[in-house]
Structure 1
Amino acid sequence: MTKKMLNWIQHAVGLLISIAIAEGVGILSSFFTRGTMEKYQQLVQPSFSPPGWVFSIVWSVLFLLMGIASYRVYNAGIQKPVVKNALIFYTIQLIFNFFWTIIFFRLELRGFAFVWLIILWVLIIITTVKFYKIDKIAGYLMVPYILWVSFAGLLNYSIWQLNK
């Protein structure tokens, strides 16, 4: 095998691992919240609430984009302190993302979930800025995530208020 082929395989495996980590967060959180969608559907919903099936599609795409972004940043040189720092923030926001789903759906703590989501949103903004400074495309790949979490914040708040 040539050096070029080995390099290509290494990059492909790294990209797949990065995507698998991000998608794994979504899969694992959905595992812990399985069976909660029926109760969610019974809540009073704001008029702008999308149908339940939209969430899994949107989140799958967002986790894919996050995985690609994180790989691009990692590939910029994990030995660099700025890259390590960006990936630490990325990891922290993934952890917050994972727990938000459980707080909102499983524990049904809608008000606390809203506060948690605001913290998540701030962490995503910080991560995106850090990614952008390292790799502009990685930063751009995070923008749909910011937009969706902004929408999710409005939705979370509305559902909390409508179902007090």
Structure 2
Amino acid sequence: MDTDRFPYWLKIVIAIVLCNIVGIAASTVTLDAIPGWYASLNKPPFNPPNWLFGPVWTTLYVLMGISAAMIWQLGLKRRDVKHALSVFGIQLMLNGIWSYLFFGFQSPLLAFIEILLLLGVIILTMIRFKDLKPLAAWLLVPYLLWVSFASILNFSIYLLN
């Protein structure tokens, strides 16, 4: 199937849905852990309320999907586009894995190590996207900022527990 022939709007929808599927999959371990294990942890004073995470992540997944679709629109026959989207796919996978490490395995330390890797791959994704379409990279800035904050929060929870 030649997905390069998909209309741009369909690429946006597919990319947004794909990003949100990762979030939904990750939420299967997150939602069960919040009232029990996570509630029992010592958290820093800057820990956001639990209700904030859903809307923030949904927004970030939408921005990520639009960003990826902008790159996809350039054509999958291009090697640089394939490479950029491969890096994007790796960061998306790492994004989902974090929830399994933190909430599923209940390991703030492993999750912190993994989130540092995630940050690096987000930055690499942004660099690759910037070379192809700068706006696509800029759309990932809120994601980078949130994951940076999440890294600090993750490390703080590790230290406090």
Q: Give the TM-score category using the shorter length.
A: over 0.9
* Contact 1:41/1:52, CA 8 A, preserved across alignment: no
Q: Kindly indicate whether the alpha-carbon contact (under 8 Å) linking 2:8 and 2:69 is maintained by their aligned counterparts in 1.
A: no
Structure of higher CA gyration radius: 1
After superposition, what is the alpha-carbon deviation per residue over 1:46-102, rounded to whole angstroms, capped at 9, x for unaligned?
011000111111110000000000000000121111110000000001111111011
Contact 1:32 1:106 in 2 (8 A): yes
- SS of 1:37's equivalent in the other structure is helix
Q: Which amino acid aligns with 2:9?
A: A
CA contact (8 A) 1:62 1:145 kept: yes
Normalising to structure 2: TM-score of the pair? Answer: 0.93
Q: CA RMSD in A?
A: 1.2
Runs of 5+ in structure 2 lacking a partner? none
What SS does the aligned partner of 1:34 have? helix
Question: Any runs of at least 4 consecutive aligned residues in structure 1 with deviations exceeding 4 A, and if so which?
Answer: none
Is 62-71 or 9-18 further displaced after alignment? 9-18
Instruction: Output the CA distance in 1 between the equivalents of 2:16 and 2:107.
Output: 29
Per the TM alignment, residue 150 of structure 1 is displaced from its structure 2 partner at its CA by 0.4
TM-fit CA distance, 1:41: 2.2
Q: State the shift of 1:137 in Å.
A: 0.8
TM-score w.r.t. the length of structure 1 is 0.92
Instruction: Tell me the residue number matched to 1:3.
Output: none
Deviations 1:80-127 (A, max 9, x none): 111100000000011111110110011111111100000000000000
% of aligned pairs identical?
A: 37
- Where 2:31 maps in the other structure, the secondary structure is coil
- What are the residue-to-residue correspondences of 1:1-164 with 2, within 5 Å? 10-38=7-35, 39-163=37-161
